[in-house]
Amino acid sequence: MTLDSRFAPGDVEPRLYRGWEREGSFACNPDSNAQPYTIMIPPPNVTGSLHMGHALTFTLQDTLIRWRRMQGRDALWQPGTDHAGIATQMVVERLLAADGKDRREMGRAAFLDRVWQWKAESGGTITTQLRRLGASLDWPRERFTMDDGLSAAVKETFVTLYNEGLIYRDRRLVNWDPKLQTAISDLEVENREVKGSLWYLRYPIEGEPGDFIIVATTRPETMLGDTAVAVHPDHPAYGALIGKRAILPLVGRSIPIVGDTYADPEKGTGAVKITPAHDFNDFEVGKRHDLPMPSILDRQAMVTVEEIADVLAAIPGVADPDFVRGLVGQSRFAARSAIIAELERLGLLEKIEPHVNQVPHGDRGGVPVEPRLTTQWYCNAAVLAKPAIEAVETGRTVFVPKQWENTFFAWLRDIQPWCISRQLWWGHRIPAWYGPDGTVFVAKDEAGAAEQARAHYGRDEALSQDEDVLDTWFSSALWPFSTLGWPEKTKELDRYYPGDVLVTGFDIIFFWVARMMMMGLHMMGDVPFRTVYIHGLVRDEKGQKMSKSRGNVIDPLELIDTYGADALRFTICALTGPGRDVKLGAARVQDYRGFITKLWNAARFCEMNGIRPDPAFDPSQVKLPLSRWLLDAANTALREADAALEAYRFDEYAAAGYRFVWNNFCDWFLEFAKPLLAEGADAAGAAEIRGVGAHVLGLILRMLHPAIPFVTEELWDRFGYGAACSLIGTAWPAPVAVPDAEAARAELDWVIRLIGIVRSVRSEMNVPPAKPSPVLLRDASAAVLARAGRWIEAIRRLARASDVQALGGDVPKGSAQAVLDETTVVLPLQGLIDIDAERARLAKERDKVAAEAKKVRQKLDNPDFVSRAKEEVVAENRERLAAFEAEIARLQAALQRLE
């Protein structure tokens, strides 16, 4: 074995990943006695490809799962994807369109065949890409929401909830996407700021020629469907009109003027037109006042007059049925222009003001959503939400960070009926059949429905299944248990439900977290996960959200190609603090790649110096302070790493590893080890250093494996710590008792500080590095001198000292001086240093300490502080003051010696 001078992730990563998969290293074991640890992913969209958001969330999850797996837990990380009804159907329709085909021509069955074919060819993109990241998902257990088993779970749930009255049909307003021609969820609607206008329309008052009520609207085209004008009951000018009627221009309909607090006297004119079939607020007003609710836009958002045909009336100068009929078939945008022009012609347009408003857009289709009155299937989410809210209130499920539970509560406490039907072909077909008279029979299959129909009608009747499919989230909500075999009673279900943690971004709380909680509690009787860890979003270096339109999207696969998966993963961990977005760019990944390289090179040094795993090495038997110091520091790092991971502090975990490897192992241990390993050094000492070095390198590899699995596994294998690809399954290290750790810490701490002081003085005094200098210790105790003697080689090497000795007599002329505890460190550098500069340096040092001392003295001079502060704080400050004063005295003495 000889390690290359650079770690080559591109060669190593695929080989190790294949090795892990081949060895079955990612597999859970339902037959084991170990305590399970389960992470259910919010399943990614089958049409998706890996983006930085995935890289973030899967890196964190993989870090957790690898850590728990090493701790001996029976880890299940359940992979899979959801079928993404709308997105997938759009993808396949686009492919068909390229071939000049249309799904309606080919028919439902052929279209679905085509979707499955697409899924077989392209649906594995993201799962392949997750492997590049190193994600250790239990792939043989991969599930898809349209699988038979998961489909059975959907049917079971639908039928159960229907029978409980929690699923029902209702006619109400939905968010309708006119492009996709389906209902969509509130959560699939994004409000976009659009520069529009506020049009002020004059509606004539019935029976009072020449009088108008002026309504302000952002959507004049909907006026065809107006069935009232609402004013605030207390409105000074318009309040008196309540109870009268207005003539709806163009249409000629007589509509009431109603009093409703929905009308905001501050907005527009204070009077608002009411179109119950095309606006959610107006719908509520319509219900309160029992208004008609005609739709004037069809499924494509084209004008239709079918529902207002019988109220059209010709009123000269106000309304013209021919004009209205002429709008039929026009888009809502064209109709708007035409209506405004006509109103203007009739003198019924008061004015137009520029207006910026929030326009709801379908997030997939990209066109403005049209509220539309349709019959859909609904789930009574308010009932399901109650136990979900309670589970978080009582701590059965805990949010980390806790503040996110407010977001969860806010949404669930105000939850609207969940529209679960979609006018799509790709998805779980709603298990409802209709008889000839429209009676609904809900059953898991057609035979069940037929049986119900027979009982109902007393004979066999032809049934037709509902054409619609279910919202994708209906099946995603079941994911934490449907993937485990439910509704079958499987040992996996028994063992891995509830899961331990759901890891996701805050934007997903409404989507998956809330729905999984509701369905898990209702169908399984228990929460789906005990902890919900919420991380931030990935942004670019400037903090901007990554988006295709901004052109600032970073492809994680490119980062992996360039810097390696470990570098990307470590960067993500290091930057993932609590409740923070992660600003990430190539530069950051490059920086952290330095750490991977550092680790690699430290290992190379070990290799070159005969540091290799020794099964006989016993850390409790080490003799050298350096060994004890290193083991003690490793204990600290391990404790920090564990505490950090327990608390989901990925940044602190990464920092603990970084500090230990770089600042303890490399900067000091390996440097101190060099003379001890040199030729002619004490053989027993060298053997111990090799032993402890190998032991601690092994600890490092284990401790960092969850974050940087590839480089650690490669080194583990190459050094022969275990069989090939075995690190992933190796036990997580625990701190061990280190004899005399306190003394070792004191000793090494002193040596490190001494070297630091000498280096600092030399650098500040511009001593040429090639000029070694003696290091003289004045006022040093016998113990300190003995210590210096033990470390003389290291001090020579690292502090550029020619010798280290006690200084008995006077300080030689032209020396530089510094204070280390009770000792004054003297560097005789006559001719090499500028005495004035040295004087200034010492004075500055003294003044700095004096300033500190002054602050502490002022504190101690305050009787309130001494009497009211905690005793240990007072004592600590007394000690600090004493130390400062002693240091000042020594610096002062050093200054005087210069004269």
Partner RNA sequence: GGGCGGUUAGCUCAGCGGUAGAGCGUCUCGUUUACACCGAGAGGGUCGGCGGUUCAAAUCCGUCACCGCCCA
Does 880 participate in binding RNA (rule CB under 7 A)? yes
- Nearest approach, Cβ of 659 to RNA (angstroms)? 7
Q: Which of 290, 679, 864, 899 binds RNA (CB under 7 A)?
A: 864
**49: nearest Cα among 127, 111, 101:** 127
State which residue, 191 or 802, has the beta carbon closest to RNA.
Answer: 191
b/e map 71-100, b = 16+ CB within 10 Å: bebbbbbbbbbbbbbbbbbbbbbeebeeee
Write the binding mask 541 to 570 for RNA: x where contact by CB under 7 A, - elsewhere.
xxx-x-------------------------
617/865 with CB nearer RNA: 865
Comparison of 29 and 191: residue with beta carbon closer to RNA: 191
User: Which C-beta is closer to RNA: that of 299 or that of 855?
Assistant: 855
- HEC secondary structure over 185-215: CHHHEEEEEEEEEEEEEEEEECCCCCCEEEE
Distance of CA 216 to the CA centre of its chain: 42
Binding positions for RNA, 629-688, rule CB under 7 A: 651-652, 655, 658, 662-663, 666-667, 670-671, 674
Identify which of 764, 790, 747, 633 has the alpha carbon closest to the alpha carbon of residue 699: 633
Contact flag: residue 495 with RNA (CB under 7 A): no
Report the alpha-carbon distance of residue 547 to residue 539 in Å, rounded. 9
548 belongs to an annotated ligand binding site: yes
Rule CB under 7 A: is residue 610 a binding residue for RNA? no
Which residues inside 589-608 make contact with RNA, applying CB under 7 A? 591, 593-594, 596-598, 601-602, 604-605, 608
Spatial distance between the Cα atoms of 877 and 853, rounded to a whole number of angstroms: 10
Q: Rule CB under 7 A: choose which of 194, 462, 684, 873 binds RNA.
A: 873
Are residues 167 and 65 in contact, defined by beta-carbon separation less than 8 angstroms? no
Site membership for RNA, residue 623 (CB under 7 A): no
Closest CA to 501 of 4, 172, 38: 38
Return the range that interacts with RNA (CB under 7 A); candidates 256-264, 473-481, 818-826, 865-873.
865-873
Q: Which of residues 404-443 bind RNA (CB under 7 A)?
A: 406-407, 410
Task: Map tokens 């006119």 to a residue.
Answer: 178
- Gap between the Cα atoms of 76 and 69, Å rounded: 9
Q: Does residue 337 touch RNA according to CB under 7 A?
A: no
23 touching RNA, by CB under 7 A: no
Q: What DSSP character marks residue 723? A: S
Taking the C-alpha atoms of residue 608 and residue 600, their distance in angstroms, rounded to an integer, is 12
Neighbouring-strand partners of residue 820 = 823
CB of 37 to RNA, least distance (A): 25
Dihedral sign of CA atoms 489, 495, 498, 504 in order: negative
Beta bridge partners of 257: 229
Q: Does 745 bind RNA (CB under 7 A)?
A: no
Q: Which range, of 17-25, 212-220, 246-254, 399-407, touches RNA by CB under 7 A?
A: 399-407
Q: What is the helix (H) or strand (E) element at residue 798, kind and residue range?
A: helix 792-799
Assess 454 for contact with RNA (CB under 7 A).
Answer: no
Token pair for 173: 């307003």
Angle at the Cα of 569 (from 566 to 572), degrees rounded to 5?
Answer: 150
* 862 lines the binding site for RNA (CB under 7 A): yes
Pick from 457, 466, 460, 456: which is nearest to 434 by CA? 466
Q: Which two tokens stand for residue 570?
A: 């470590």
CB 878, min distance to RNA, A: 12
Interface with RNA (CB under 7 A), residue from 196, 326, 577, 685: 577
What is the contact mask toward RNA in residues 504 to 543, using x (rule: CB under 7 A)?
---x---------------------------------xxx
* 578 binds RNA, rule: CB under 7 A: yes
Q: Candidates 313, 315, 338, 869: give the one binding RNA (CB under 7 A).
A: 869
Q: Exposure string (b/e) for 368-398, b if CB count within 10 Å is 16 or more?
A: bbbbbbbebbbbbbeebbebbbebbeeeebb
Closest distance of CB 849 from RNA, Å: 10
The region of 37-45, 343-351, 401-409, 422-430 touching RNA under the rule CB under 7 A is 401-409
Q: CA angle at residue 161 from 160 to 163, to 5 degrees?
A: 65
Q: How far apart are CA 527 and CA 498, in angstroms?
A: 6
Q: Which is nearer to RNA, 334 or 860 (CB)?
A: 860
Distance CA 122, CA 670 (A): 50
Q: How far is the CB of 670 from RNA (least distance, A)?
A: 4
Separation of alpha carbons 760 and 826, rounded Å: 13
Nearer to RNA, 115 or 565 (CB): 565
Residue 24 interacts with RNA (CB under 7 A): yes or no? no
CB closer to RNA, 6 vs 22: 6
Nearer to RNA, 101 or 859 (CB): 859
Stretch that binds RNA, among 34-42, 390-398, 402-410, 552-560 (CB under 7 A): 402-410
Based on CB atoms, which residue is closest to RNA, 131 or 172? 172
Residues making up the binding site: 548
Residues binding RNA (CB under 7 A):
5-6, 186-187, 191, 358, 403, 406-407, 410, 507, 541-543, 545, 575, 577-581, 583, 587, 591, 593-594, 596-598, 601-602, 604-605, 608, 651-652, 655, 658, 662-663, 666-667, 670-671, 674, 756, 759-760, 763-764, 769-770, 852, 859, 862, 864-865, 868-870, 873, 876-877, 880
